[in-house]
Copies of this chain bind each other. A is one copy, B any other.
């Protein structure tokens, strides 16, 4: 059955491939985006590896290629009237909420960026909750959270909730969370917001605790440069794996922050798309905040560096790693054992981080080698 899919932040790194994938499946797609990422990239001079067409042009390319129309609206979900009208007019079955300020370093730059992150992420989510209540309480909200909400506790990380026995009595709570940046803290706060309104108003919510995503190659983007999603490798919007791969191509050492034992759960962009599909096809129930941990493998920073070095050397690049002072305040060696049973149960077949996958991305980066600016990789934003 055709679904009406509203994607908030649909111009972003994950939003755009999700829009293509959902459109490709025959669903009706509306993108809302405020161009924050593009504007901030220009303001802080941290451009993506290659130029990205305007959202308008992207949609035209897609239409030309597949004869499928993706609807777009440029606007800010922090403007409640705008969001409410869009939701009222489009009548979505599901709303995928990617419209948060997504960068931990950005949120730590200064007061301006902290305020923006807090307002954008919380007011945006509050407006979404109210818009769904005003229009159709049965709309399934799929919200992008982060594995970073859990931090790096010394106990196993369960999926969203934890049964606690204390002084002979029992209760189930949201898994206790403590994050490592203001950005990650706003995601905890968002989960608290959703949890409250789920209990009071009976919303249907899926909150995806996602790890860092890598990869560029999805069925819809692979063969058409104009449809590629952004590739950030800078200190603000880049992820550690992207930075390493660009450093390998640029012929500079891979910069490991501190001891490099920092361990996180990662996943291929193909699995992000599959997880979103599975969440759409198996919606949360009314009055349910369903929390799913969304990653397929865990790696330490050192392990990632070693994987990239192996792949890079195999294609003739001469690569090594070096340690730099950690700009963040985080544990550099720690226990990390998160669960991810939910999506397995829903049928996810993971795409793992193989040498082949890394080499394929490296080859793509090599095509844009002359555009690399290694200056923007070095961390300037300090936590303290």
A192 at the interface (CB under 8 A from B): yes
Interface pair A166/B155, CB less than 8 Å apart = yes
A376 at the interface (CB under 8 A from B): no
User: Interface code A121-142, partner B: CB below 8 Å = 1, 0 otherwise?
Assistant: 0110011001000000000000
| Seed contacts A153-B173, A178-B196; 4 additional CB < 8 Å A-B pairs | A118-B123, A169-B335, A173-B178, A201-B384
Known contacts: A126-B118, A179-B196. The answer to whether A171 contacts B154 by CB under 8 A is yes
Known contacts: A114-B130, A118-B126. The answer to whether A171 contacts B196 by CB under 8 A is no
A61 at the interface (CB under 8 A from B): no
Residues 97-125 (chain A) with a chain B CB within 8 angstroms: 111, 114-115, 118-119, 122-123
What 6 pairs between A and B have smallest CB-CB spacing? Answer: A173-B176, A189-B189, A155-B166, A154-B171, A155-B169, A185-B196
A130 — which chain B residues lie within 8 A by C-beta?
A: 111, 114
- The smallest beta-carbon distance between A10 and chain B, in angstroms, is 24
Using C-beta atoms within 8 Å of the partner chain, give the interface range for chain A: 35 or more
Q: How far is the CA of A335 from the CA of B167 in the complex (A)?
A: 13
Known contacts: A166-B162, A196-B185. The answer to whether A174 contacts B176 by CB under 8 A is yes
Interface pair A164/B185, CB less than 8 Å apart = no
A182 at the interface (CB under 8 A from B): yes
Known contacts: A176-B176, A178-B174, A329-B199. The answer to whether A155 contacts B126 by CB under 8 A is no
Residues 180-202 (chain A) with a chain B CB within 8 angstroms: 181-182, 185, 188-189, 192-193, 195-196, 199-201
Contact of A154 among B155, B169, B192 (CB under 8 A): B169
